[in-house]
Amino acid sequence: MVVLRRLLYSQKAAPYLFIAPFVITLLAFWLLPLARTFLLSTQEVVFGQAAFIGFDNYQRLWEDRLFWKAMFNSARYMVLTIALLIPVPLVLAALINSKIGSERVKAVFKASMFVPALTSVVVAGIIFRLMFAETGTGLMNQIVGIFGLEPVRWLRIDTGGLIALLALAMWRWTGVNILYFLAGMQSIPEEYYEAATIDGASRLQQFFHITLPNLKPTIVYVTTISIYGGLAMFLESFMLYRGNSSPNDQGLTVIGYLYRRGIEQNDLGFASAVGVVLVVVIMTINLTFLTLSGTFKKESAQ
Amino acid sequence: MSAQPATRTKVQLPHWLHGSVQTGFLLVLTLIVLAPLLIMFVATFQDGNDVIRRGLSLDIDRSSLSLDNYVMLFTDSGPYFRWFANSILLTVVQVAGTLLVSSFVAYGFAVYEFKGKTALFIAVLLLMAVPFEIMMLPLYVLVNDVGLADSYSVIVLPFLAAAVTIFYFRQYFLGIPKDLLEAGRMDGATEFGIFFKIVVPVAKPAFAAMAILNGMIIWNNFLWPLLVLRSESKFTLPIGLNTLLTPHENNYELLIIGSLFSLLPVLVLFLLFQRFFVAGMTAGALKG
Amino acid sequence: MTTRRRITSLLAAGLAATLMLSACGGSEEEGGPDAEGRTSIDMWVFAELHGTYYEAMAEAWNEKNPDKEIKLDVTVFPYDEMHNKLQLAVNSGKGLPDVVDIEVNKFSNFVTEDGRTPLADLSEAAEPYQEDIVQARMDLYAREGKQLGFPTHVGAQVAFYNIPLLEKAGVDYTTIKTWDDFKAAGAKYNKATGKAFGVASTDTNITQPLVMAQLGGDLFDEDGNVTVNSPEVVEAIELLQDMQKAGALSTIPGGSPDIEEAYGPINNGDYAAIVYPAWYTSRFVDYMPDLAGDIAIAPAPVIEGGEVATVGGGGTGTAVIDSSPDKEFAAEWLAFAKLSPEANVAVWEELGFDPVNMSVWEDKDVTHNPENKFNKYFRTNLFDVLNEVKGDIGHFESFENPNLPKVDEVFTTSTYNQIFGDGVPAKQALDQAQADLENQLK
């Protein structure tokens, strides 16, 4: 009891007790599986029997057309979501932040934009799959029809599927990103703008010379999570294509390929090699990006 | 910062016109964003197989609309409400657990100096950027090897110390004056007493925001439960709904109405606590 | 203070309890009958209707065998999830059911090339019924002399023609015997109506193997190596691609005739000829009510001087897990539920599948029952067609190869989409499939 009491009052011991759950989680659910992934990636596993095969899985991976296709698809999705989900919400946030227009409408708009983020990928995927139906009666084909065009076989062609995926991403995340940017904008001191107005700067000039530079931390943050989210995308495609198979593998992502080889085809070794490569890629991109944008410096200065 | 002097004459719209153009634009966007959900809502009154065949459509046969699906939902929807109850239970338990454990850890990082702190905190930062999907394969194998498949505990345990939540709480706790904690120590409180008695009450808004963020994630959690769960009676809503996507002898009516219905608790909570939702979902952007 | 500490310890206790609970969750069941003399059998299936069928078969068994009743517990999973879960459970040897439905394209995932398998040998249980069963379908699930699964149906490929549509275009389906006839009829129909005739499936590998088998082709060589660009396979696919160019085949929404999105167009009369396994009768009756009385069933087109008239398409092999403590009992029940004459009558009457027990095919009371909903729906009798091709139902060797699942995956996601969707020449697409597969299987 005395020991316990001393422990409870001790400022030396306390921090270790506080962070113990994290250390356990880190070891049991991250480092151990990571090590296991690496180990598995050097093995061939048949009905639970593992045999060491060195770096053969990595060599197969390197020569595997589908792996590169999956890489390409994930990278393309990441780049395009960043290209869309930063400028568009940024402009919309600026519109909301401007002094003109009805405040009530803006509030309704903000809340409505947020609603899709409440929708799970499963439900959103079901809805978008049905909207992008390839029959002439599907919503998107009706819209296309208004412009006098033939029905599009959306999810059966590469561009059509990509548009559907991007539309889904835009739908779910525009509202959230608007809020990020709004929060950033509202923390910019009003005096900056007043001074600029006195100098005769136009609204547009103010946006580029005051708003954007001051939003840098927010933009960095949103980009970071978009890199991560883009490269790790799987579920959106899985729901949209009703499973992990899509025509010509146009919807196959890196995680999707890991899932296919590991869980559907039971090739644990190969799938683990895919996982290891993905960890390395994501870590490299993120660390580079965070270093370049100076986030680490700020963190250690605290 | 010096702004460039304007070099060309600007075409200035009258203020009121500018305002209504913007308002109109925002209203149109609002409609577009809500359209998928609205059309899905209309589809709940239609024949399910028809919706799957024709897609969500504006071309609706009005005479075919009926309340049958709603009657079915409440009288003959099989395990649907079981899944609903499972989801609620799992969400409540996991959110409570995550808040407790993660805030605990965050407090450790925020107020103490100890060996290895920097390294461990960098680990937190890195974990925020490693997709769980990479861990799922070895974890899945592990879970099976130890015979823990089909249990809720393996869904909950790996995520109790959640990196993003820890990070958020730490930032929040850093803002609490040290004097407050010292005063607690003077009163003879243990380190844990200080945490529960002084820190937790002060940090209520942070707890609310993180409850929302984690609640959203857990309510919609899909991949890991999909791999782990085996029995239909243990399925959560997203897993159960996904099973309805299977072809033949399916129940597309339940798929459609059940999908929409699953949004209801979240929507109601959102309308009631919009402020916390915004704080929770945008938590990551908290200035470092 | 004390209450706070109590809360903390409660929470700690709660966490510990969760851990303990979960640790105890994995206890394995013991075999043998329970206190009431009933043996519990866990079964996984991937189609609701199959589940209903097995439950009916469990009841029928219990009526006949009151001394050794079965207590059947069926779990229905979506197709992919069920096979994924089974694969993992097989790896770890934990959390397995006693009996499981395995789709034919996935079956080979559960036997290695050298015959290692977690599935039980059912040969003994099959013995009483053996001679009446279509052997080709038993072979599908036999490896190295062991019977690892029981078939659900023959799935003999036949042709379904929409008579009113064909008549309007001046096409007589009874003159269609060969694929050349089919192509000519299709081209004529397409010209007359501007609409699609047959279906070029991009997402299933069912009609293509029929043509491959008729040409005597195989997806693997004698040593079991992948040869998906062998001359016969290329010829078969080119034949189909030529038919598409002539207007006799078209792609369909959903990618294959057996997808919800495709039922609508077929029901609307957008397609006039479907070559598919006999079990497709049930899809007509269930999902295309508007076509009742319009559809005639006929033998599938053949190759002149070809190897076989038809082969089975699709299928589900039901297997017993070797490590199940009740495997003998399960095998005996399963043989009754899948191979016995009474079960096969139910397979036809309830599911509309062509039963594997051929004694049923001869029973006119069953096959020509005018009250039967399938007989009412179609203009011609399915069993007349089946009896016509009876001696000529071939077996597509490739279905036994352990690498079939991977070939199937590549074909149905990439190759067929390239050929029939994007118009890539058959040879080129098959060469690429061969290269991809060689790397995958290295």
Residues of B in contact with A26 (CB under 8 A): 120, 123, 127, 161
3-class SS letters over chain A: CHHHHHHHHCCCCHHHHHHHHHHHHHHHHHHHHHHHHHHHCCEEEECCEEEECCCHHHHHHHHCHHHHHHHHHHHHHHHHHHHHHCHHHHHHHHHHHCCCCCHHHHHHHHHHHHHHHHCCHHHHHHHHHHHCCCCCCCHHHHHHHHCCCCCCCHHHCHHHHHHHHHHHHHHHHHHHHHHHHHHHHHCCCHHHHHHHHHCCCCHHHHHHHHHHHHCHHHHHHHHHHHHHHHHCCCHHHHHHCCCCCCHHHCCCCHHHHHHHHHHHCCCHHHHHHHHHHHHHHHHHHHHHHHHHCCHHHHHHHC
Sequence-distant (6+) residues with CB within 8 A of C93 are A48, C118, C323
Phi, psi of C70 (to 5 degrees): -110, 145
- For A89, A91, B27, the CA distances from A108, given in Å and listed in that order, are 16, 17, 9
CB atoms inside a 10 Å sphere around CB A166: 17
Does the CB of A175 have a partner CB in chain B at under 8 Å? yes
Alpha helices per DSSP H over C273-326: 280-287
Alpha carbon distance C262, B32 (integer Å): 29
- A87 vs C30: CA distance, rounded Å: 62
Mean pLDDT within B251-271? 91
Among B2, B130, B241, select the one facing A199 at the smallest CB separation: B2
Q: What is the mean pLDDT of chain A?
A: 89
Q: What is the ipTM of this complex?
A: 0.87
Rg for chain C, CA atoms, rounded:
24
Instruction: Report CB contact under 8 Å: B131, A278.
Output: yes
Low-confidence stretches of chain A (pLDDT beneath 50): 301-302
By CA distance, what is B107's nearest residue in A? A18
Task: Name the closest residue on chain A to residue B31, using Cα atoms.
Answer: A112
Q: What is the C-alpha separation between C435 and C438, in angstroms, rounded?
A: 5
Q: Under an 8 A CB cutoff, do C422 and A248 touch?
A: yes
Instruction: Name the token pair of C79.
Output: 């197709």
pTM: 0.88
CA atoms of C80 and C84, how far apart (whole Å): 6
Rounded Cα distance between A142 and B39, Å, is 13
Find the residue in C nearest to B229 (Cα). Answer: C85
What is the chain A residue with the closest CA to B98? Answer: A21
Q: What is the mean pLDDT of each run of 10 residues along chain C (442 residues)?
A: 44 45 45 84 89 93 94 87 86 85 91 86 94 90 93 94 96 96 97 96 94 93 93 96 96 90 92 96 91 96 90 92 94 96 93 92 92 94 93 85 90 95 96 93 80
Interface test with A, best of B111, B145, B191, B244 (most A CBs within 10 A): B191
What's the pLDDT score for residue B19?
78
Tell me the angle at which helices A103-118 and B264-272 cross, rounded to the nearest 10 degrees.
150
CB contact under 8 A, A127 and B40: yes
Give the per-residue pLDDT at C17: 44
Q: Measured between CA atoms, how close is B121 to chain C, in angstroms? A: 24
**Cβ–Cβ of C439/A46 closer than 8 Å?**
no
Longest dimension (CA), chain B: 75
The residue type at A68: W
Q: Which residue, chain included where needed, has tokens 């197989």?
A: B49
* Helix, strand, or coil (residue C70): strand
Chain A touched by C92 (CB under 8 Å): yes
CA atoms of B167 and B103, how far apart (whole Å): 9
Amino acid at B103: S
Q: What is the pLDDT of residue C6?
A: 47
Count of A–B CB contacts within 8 Å? 298
- CA gap A283, A272 in Å, rounded: 16
Taking the C-alpha atoms of residue A286 and residue B37, their distance in angstroms, rounded to an integer, is: 35
- What does DSSP assign to residue C214? H
Query: Do C95 and B149 make contact, defined as CB atoms within 8 angstroms?
Result: yes
The reported pLDDT for the residue numbered C183 is 97
Task: Say which of A17, A29, A171 has its CB closest to residue B36.
Answer: A171
Give me the mean pLDDT over the B263-286 stretch. 80
Among partner residues C116, C265, C440, which is closest to A47 by beta-carbon distance?
Answer: C116
Q: Provide the token pair at C407.
A: 């070939």
Beta bridge partners of B54: none
For B97, other C-beta atoms within 10 Å of its C-beta total 21
A247–C440: do the CB atoms touch at under 8 Å?
A: no
Set of chain B residues whose Cβ sits within 8 Å of the Cβ of C84: 227
In the predicted structure, residue B288 carries a pLDDT above the cut 50? no
Distance from the A159 Cα atom to the nearest Cα atom in chain B, whole angstroms: 19
Q: With a CB-CB cutoff of 8 Å, which residues 61-100 of chain B face chain A?
A: none
Q: Do C203 and A243 touch (CB under 8 A)?
A: no
